[in-house]
Each structure stands twice: as structure tokens, then as C-alpha cells.
Amino acid sequence: MRILCIGDVVGSIGCRFLRDKLPTLKKVKGIDFVLCNGENSADGNGITPSSANYLLDSGVNVITLGNHSFRRKEAYDFIDENPFIVRPANFPDGTTPGMGIVNVDTGRKIITVINIMGNTFMDNNLDCAFDCAENMLKKAESNIIIVDFHAEATGEKRAMGYFLDGKVSAMFGTHTHVQTSDAQVLPNGSGYITDVGMTGTIHSVLGVKSEIIINKFKTKLPARFDLADGECKMECVLFDIDDKTGKTLTAESFRIE
């Protein structure tokens, strides 16, 4: 089973670039299943029903989210009702739309996708990410389990990778929008990358016009984050997973421009 994980899709420009590149990539790489982080897929931050449907119609099987999951109120019912969108599992159950885990029957295999948010530097009071991960694993219906760990600190991501090693097929980090060079198979057979990267405008600061972010750092004043235009990239990691064991055989990170 070849599973592609795509870095945070930023705005409509990122969505369009994904739609342009994904079909050919799936054929060339023989990809069976596609995940992407879509918490920034709407222009102006967050996700909307429109941006989510655009990604799903473009060939994405499951959309994961993060700290901007509930930025747009118009998405609440959609997140709650669509089983192919997962929000961080450590948000409170009962008061938060959606679910933190999905078990997808592909016809060939069930694939479990789990979304968890980190605690360090994330300005949240969510449940402990590590305890949450253990609880979610009990709900997995497959030996093929993919985790999107949406977190800021590289140390927390590395720790989670080793914590999950041998318990999941693969973990990919999101949130920082900068692809790391450590795609690998950990000692007990789990695929791993600290951060898969971003899908959006190359010459930008995490997809936003660079001059806006520079001015914000200089003045310390709030600013509207207008998205940058121009050439784009789609950063990904591809995990080749053994169907029988659920272990990752290879982990390959790359960028499409």
C-alpha cells in the first residue's frame, strides 16, 4: 500500500496547484491512498465546505486539520458530518464538531487515519497528545494506521515518532510548513517525517506575502495575512507500507514544482 501525505495546503492557490499535480503524481508513483492537511485551505485561514470538497474532488481521500480547524463557523456542520475530514482527537469530545479518527474501507484494506495536535508552543489546553494517541489506537480497525501530528516543536514531534514506533504504520508532522530532511523508517518499522511541508506559493512566508510578515515582526502590530501569488510547490512524503504487517518499507519525501 503506497500512501501519500501532502503538506498543509494554503489557500485557493494551493488547492488549484494540488488539483493540477496530483492526478499525474498518483499514476507515476502508483499511489493507493492520499492524505492532506487542509486546515489552511480556505483563503484567509481555516477550512470551508467549498475548499474541503475541492480537495476531495481533486483525489484526496482524507483531509486532516489542526489549530485552525474551527476558524470558519460555516465549516462546523460539514466537519461534523463528513467522515473523510478528521480534526485533532485531543479537542474535547461532545462539544467539538467532528472526530479525531476515521477507518476508511478502501475495498483492498481498511486504513485508519488519526489526527492529533501537539501541546508545546501551541497556545492550547488540549489533552496530552501522548495520552490521546494511546486512546485513539484502541479505536483503530486496521493494522495500517497513519497519524498526522500537528505540532510546533520538533522535539515533541520526534518524541511522538518514537513513542508511536511499532504501534502505527507512519506518522507525519504538519503545522510548520517547512519540510524537514528526516523522512525515514524508525527502528520498529514506523515511517516518519518531522514536517512534511507546505502546498502553496514558493516565494512567501508560509504562504503569506513576505512583506506583511516582515512588517508584523518589525512593528509588533496585528496584520491581515494576505496570501502570496506566484509559482507554487507541493511538498509530500510517500510511505510504502506492507499490507500484511502494517510496517513501512520505505519513506520518501519530495517536492513538486
CA distance 84 to 82: 6
Is 80 exceeded by the pLDDT of residue 7? yes
Residues in the chain: 257
Is 90 exceeded by the pLDDT of residue 124? no
Is 90 exceeded by the pLDDT of residue 224? no
* Closest by CA position to 170, among listed 160, 180, 179, 178: 160
Contacts of 10 (CB under 8 A, 6+ apart): 40, 41, 177, 198, 199, 200, 201, 206, 207, 227
**Catalytic annotation, pick one of 68, 150, 175, 177:** 68
CA distance 199 to 190: 24
C-alpha cell at 256: 513538486
Domain limits, the chain: 2-203+230-256
Q: What is the pLDDT of residues 173-218, one digit of tens each?
A: 999 999 999 999 999 999 999 999 999 999 999 999 999 999 999 9
Return the pLDDT at 123. Answer: 74
Give strand ranges (E) for 58-167: 62-64, 85-86, 101-105, 110-117, 145-150
What's the average model confidence in pLDDT over 32-55?
Answer: 96
Top pLDDT among 222 and 247 is at 247
Is 90 exceeded by the pLDDT of residue 44? no
Is 90 exceeded by the pLDDT of residue 94? no
Model confidence band, residue 225 (pLDDT cutoffs 50, 70, 90): confident
Work out the mean pLDDT of the chain and round it to a whole number. 96
- Pairing between β-strand 198-201 and β-strand 232-241 as defined by DSSP bridges: antiparallel
Is 177 part of the annotated catalytic residue set?
no
What's the average model confidence in pLDDT over 79-93?
Answer: 95
Return the pLDDT at 58. Answer: 98
Architecture per CATH, domain 2-203+230-256, reads as 4-Layer Sandwich (3.60)
